[in-house]
Structure 1
Amino acid sequence: MEQKPSRRAFLSIAAAGTGGLLLTGASLASPSASLASRALAADPFTLGVASGDPSADGVVLWTRLALDPLGLNGRGGMPSRDVDVEWQLATDERFSRVVRRGTESARWRRAHSVHVEVDGLEPGREYFYRFRAEGRLSPAGRTRTTPAAPPSGSSGSSSGAPALSASASLTFAIAACAHYEHGFYTAYRRLAEQEPDLVVHLGDYMYEYGPRGYTALGGSVRQHTPGPCVTLADYRMRHAQYKSDTDLQEAHAVAPWLVSFDDHEIENNWAADVSSSGAPAFARRRANAFQAYYENMPLRRTSVPGGAAMRVHRRVDWGPLARFHLLDTRQFRDDQACEDGLRSGCDDRLASGRTLLGRDQREWLLDGLATSQARWNLVGQQILMAQRDVKVGPGTEVNMDSWDGYAAERTRLLTGFQKSGAANPVVLTGDAHMHHAADLKLDFDDPDSPRVAVELVASSIASDGDGYRDEGRIAETLAENPHISYLDQRRGYIVCRVTAEKLDADFRVLERISRKGAPAKTGARLAIPAGQASLT
């Protein structure tokens, strides 16, 4: 494996690009006289760069041009015309060895976003990329392709699974829930400093509320654009506000991302075609939100929305080591039982016909597990899968928006995990605004019920403010839910290191986000040995 440049060196090169420095040897071509005459008046790369959905031979490169990110009508201060954007991909951070280049049109009807699907690359390799538009050069980003899949039908073990190199490894980060008003994005910066190979973002990337529409404990540190988000311009402007944050830009530039939305990218606790607020014209609102989401994320053409529908469930293989199965827990679900919220004695949540994934997506997932030869099967989804009883003492009180509100389908799904024979399933989750680690069981109320998988839940990047660690409440919750082994209400993210033998999860926490600059530390490190569907 080639040696990575230091983060300091990489950021130095990226900063030089931001200033408009054209590096010698492989500089992007000078703009033509006709383009120069229409040159943009200021830097259009105010929203940074990103990459995503890597494969063994390619990756998506993204940027969006915006002269004024919060300009009226969500247009980012850009003219109502398409703009040609040149791009380069190199094997070194100084762009002296450019291996791919081209030009894409940033279409004004797509908010001047650019999605370049590069192919023909080498597997398991690090690359650097940048853009140029009308004489302006973007920051540089770093990305990588996935390791090569084994040849079809190849096998290196008696089990039929492909052989793994002893040095095969993957480091990925899990992030979710980044309410802009509730805190600064220091956690994104600390995540970037750890230089993961991949970032998995599990939803609530942005929030749709108007200013102070959802107040965190301790108040807010900054303010949303006017809202709430309803129109396409609203969603575009809100995404631009979030993307303008330099800590978030740094996290995007350091590694490729896998993204999937939860509820707040559209509306709190929405379910399929049901608006949680009873808002009129919800299909139009969904279409607006999906279009803005695609415009602002490094997604492939397979995720281009079709009106009020958008496909985000997909698979990404990391060679023979890991398969990521990304789920959509919003578009296909039944409405929340018992009018949503925390409920006790809600029999409707137990109904056998209720679905969260929808039949087609559930079968797609189980088929992907059954056919997987990967050493680890990582299921990325949005809401808490483990049962979590929040009531101390007799009785049960659970969240109707989580898998507890769809208990029968959860049992069917976990039974399917077990029957699929998939190696080492681990569920990756966001939404809960606190770190969790739990064993997933067929029956959470039976101490002897089989353990099927492990769930790792990332706390929020910023949502709900500084956070805290209430030892008394944690002890009570763990006593009520013995399958849960770790809880922490502080803000943060998870860094996972995966090898053939085990998955180590570092739960990273920050003591504050109400002020910038807080360090991150490891609140807990938990290990999942291969072949053991429980935490050590």
Structure 2
Amino acid sequence: MAKVSRRVFVLGGVATAGIAAAPLRSAQAAPPYPFKLGVASGDPAADSVVLWTRLAPSPLDADGQGGMATADVAVDWQVSPNDRFTTLVASGTVTARYADAHSVHVVAGGLAPDAEYHYRFRAQGHVSPVGRTRTAPANDTVGRDLVMAFASCAHYEEGYYTAYRRMAEDRPDLVLHLGDYIYEYGPTAGRVRLHVGNEIVSLADYRRRYALYRSDPDLQAAHAVAPWLVVPDDHEVENNHAGNVRENDTPTLTAAQWTARRTAAYRAYYENMPLRPASAPSGTSIPLYRRVRWGRLATFHMLDTRQFRSDQACGDGWKVCADADLASRTLTGAAQEAWLLDGLAQKLGTWDILGQQVFFARRFNDTGASMDSWDGYRASRQRIQQGWRDRAVRNPVVLTGDVHRAWANDLKADYATPNSATIGTELVTTSISSGGNGDATTAVPDQSNNPHLKFFSNRRGYVRTTIGQTQLRADFRAVDTISEHGAPVRTAASFVVRDGVPGLQAV
């Protein structure tokens, strides 16, 4: 009797179970190598994960199409328990469409929970690099300790992506990227390396900028090592924008041109990120806030603090502004705030982790506070903090990017009263490259006004966390230079948060 093997078919890019794993297509006379932007995976669930690639043999072509012709292209994909692909657990074919800049988002389903896999693509006679990914534990199990790294702010011009490379070498199980994956600016003479093209405003511009960033081998290594959960901040569209309000209008745009810019920015973001089809954009909006479960261990509440926020109070910048206290002001929008509090009330895991973009704890200095952070939306912050207290959330942990420095903060019931209850923890990653090399400063700025701020570093890097049932450990990883390749990484400081004991404890 003939042996029947398992197969997975693809319908509209979504994998469904079937019979027998199809082999890769035989090679033909090959056009130029199309996988120059690497591979990625993301948004893992207990039984599936998104696989991504984009065909681009000439990534920096001005039309944003990466050197591809107008024809759609069939792309084969495979998933295996090993990197030799001797056994396949899922495979199929998906169409890379010209209209989508030949990007593909395959939802590979039928996978085992809490398992490591390898994946690859083939198109036009070429085989892609191999990526490593994994699934989450089943919803009713805790699973193994989770090694999760998070990062943000990777200005291409201001330094090399050494921190991405070192993060890949740590071999995390999961990576969170909290925004500013690209920067929209034109080139600035004298920097470590230069953007291609002027400030980006059109769809072709955004596609080419993503292609420039994704051509970097260190970034490709970080994508290939683990699945990512991503949310954008402001520079994926325009610096400091708030909802549909332009903040830094360079170049000057009409209302119609600004609408076209936002539409292009979100379309290109989706095309270049390993997101599920549910996050596909529609016009000027993109559905990005979402909940990702990691079994009974952790729940990731991925927030969007740009699309629904009120405009910055009293204008942008650091200042004293009474309007920042207005109850009507919101950073998340009412619907997202209600969604977050509802999710926190479900207590799905030991740790409730908020992946978001801007500084959460109070941070005042002599000129006031940043109106672009949660200090510019103080009633919004208070509602969320009080909301998790009212719901008796056991372990709320806020993850933050944006500020190009590393911080570790206790979250307080009343920031004006230093001895008030500590009700949560904030971990702030420094930038991958934005701000250049930085310096060796570790003194916490303005700590006398903000005693809940416990750690500061002005080096580039990322945060590596190890999340278990009894504690969450955070290692602040730093490199001393990014103006040259190859700097080693070190742990600048480590903290733990104990289960049921809010606040930081130094290691």
TM value normalised by structure 1: 0.88
Q: Residues 26 and 96 of structure 1 are in contact (CA less than 8 Å); yes or no, is this contact kept in structure 2?
A: no
Task: Give CA deviations for 1:336-358 in whole Å, capped at 9, x if unaligned.
Answer: 011111113x1111111101100
Paired residue secondary structure (2:89): strand
Distance, in Å, in 2 between the alignment partners of 1:422 and 1:267 is: 35
Match of 1:488 in 2: 457
Residue 86 (structure 1) aligned with residue 85 (structure 2): no
Residue 506 (structure 1) aligned with residue 482 (structure 2): no
Residue 95 (structure 1) aligned with residue 85 (structure 2): yes
Q: What is the root-mean-square deviation in Å for CA atoms of aligned residues? A: 1.4
Cα distance 1:349–1:40, how it changes in 2: closer, same or farther (>3 A)?
farther
Distance, in Å, in 2 between the alignment partners of 1:339 and 1:40 is: 55
Task: Give CA deviations for 1:115-172 in whole Å, capped at 9, x if unaligned.
Answer: 001111100000000000010000000000000011xxxxxxxxxxxx756xx31000
Match of 1:20 in 2: none
What does residue range 107-506 of structure 1 map to in structure 2 within 5 Å? 107-150=97-140, 164=142, 168-212=144-188, 220-278=191-249, 279-280=253-254, 281-344=257-320, 346-391=321-366, 397-471=368-442, 474-506=443-475
Q: Which moved more, 1:436-445 or 1:504-513?
A: 436-445
- The code of the aligned residue for 2:25 comes to A
Residue 30 (structure 1) aligned with residue 16 (structure 2): no
Q: Which runs of 5+ in 1 are unaligned?
A: 1-24, 151-162
Displacement, 1:193?
0.2
- The code of the aligned residue for 1:377 comes to D
Q: Residues 373 and 422 of structure 1 are in contact (CA less than 8 Å); yes or no, is this contact kept in structure 2?
A: no
Displacement, 1:478?
2.1
Match of 1:66 in 2: 56
Distance, in Å, in 2 between the alignment partners of 1:390 and 1:235 is: 36
Distance, in Å, in 2 between the alignment partners of 1:377 and 1:475 is: 27
Q: Which runs of 5+ in 2 are unaligned?
A: 1-20
Distance, in Å, in 2 between the alignment partners of 1:448 and 1:479 is: 13
Displacement, 1:27?
5.7
Distance, in Å, in 1 between the alignment partners of 2:444 and 2:358 is: 22
Task: Give CA deviations for 1:237-280 in whole Å, capped at 9, x if unaligned.
Answer: 00000000000000000000000000000000000110113432
Paired residue secondary structure (2:446): helix
**Residue 39 of structure 2, aligned match among 30, 36, 49:** 49
Distance, in Å, in 2 between the alignment partners of 1:339 and 1:328 is: 21
Distance, in Å, in 2 between the alignment partners of 1:363 and 1:441 is: 21
Displacement, 1:449?
2.1
Paired residue secondary structure (1:478): coil
Q: Which moved more, 1:76-85 or 1:436-445?
A: 436-445
- The code of the aligned residue for 1:41 comes to P
Distance, in Å, in 2 between the alignment partners of 1:306 and 1:300 is: 14
Displacement, 1:179?
0.2
Distance, in Å, in 2 between the alignment partners of 1:80 and 1:293 is: 21
Distance, in Å, in 2 between the alignment partners of 1:319 and 1:493 is: 25
- The code of the aligned residue for 1:29 comes to R
Distance, in Å, in 1 between the alignment partners of 2:71 and 2:245 is: 36
Cα distance 1:164–1:52, how it changes in 2: closer, same or farther (>3 A)?
closer
Distance, in Å, in 2 between the alignment partners of 1:369 and 1:244 is: 38
Cα distance 1:208–1:411, how it changes in 2: closer, same or farther (>3 A)?
same
Distance, in Å, in 2 between the alignment partners of 1:378 and 1:514 is: 33
Displacement, 1:26?
8.6
Match of 1:104 in 2: 94
Paired residue secondary structure (2:492): strand
Distance, in Å, in 2 between the alignment partners of 1:52 and 1:528 is: 26
Q: Which moved more, 1:314-323 or 1:276-285?
A: 276-285
Match of 1:157 in 2: none
Distance, in Å, in 1 between the alignment partners of 2:346 and 2:22 is: 44
- The code of the aligned residue for 2:325 comes to L
- The code of the aligned residue for 1:406 comes to Y
Q: Residues 444 and 455 of structure 2 are in contact (CA less than 8 Å); yes or no, is this contact kept in structure 1?
A: no
Q: Residues 209 and 229 of structure 1 are in contact (CA less than 8 Å); yes or no, is this contact kept in structure 2?
A: yes
Displacement, 1:29?
2.8
- The code of the aligned residue for 2:276 comes to R
Displacement, 1:469?
2.5
Distance, in Å, in 1 between the alignment partners of 2:197 and 2:119 is: 34
Distance, in Å, in 2 between the alignment partners of 1:330 and 1:496 is: 26
Point out the structure with the larger strand share.
Answer: 2
Match of 2:5 in 1: none
Q: Residues 232 and 288 of structure 1 are in contact (CA less than 8 Å); yes or no, is this contact kept in structure 2?
A: yes
Match of 1:156 in 2: none
Q: Residues 26 and 97 of structure 1 are in contact (CA less than 8 Å); yes or no, is this contact kept in structure 2?
A: no
Distance, in Å, in 2 between the alignment partners of 1:445 and 1:430 is: 24
Cα distance 1:476–1:332, how it changes in 2: closer, same or farther (>3 A)?
closer
Paired residue secondary structure (1:477): coil
Q: Residues 439 and 534 of structure 1 are in contact (CA less than 8 Å); yes or no, is this contact kept in structure 2?
A: yes
Distance, in Å, in 1 between the alignment partners of 2:198 and 2:70 is: 24
Displacement, 1:442?
2.5
Q: Residues 444 and 456 of structure 2 are in contact (CA less than 8 Å); yes or no, is this contact kept in structure 1?
A: no
Paired residue secondary structure (2:209): helix
Q: Residues 274 and 282 of structure 1 are in contact (CA less than 8 Å); yes or no, is this contact kept in structure 2?
A: no
Percent identity among equivalent residues?
52
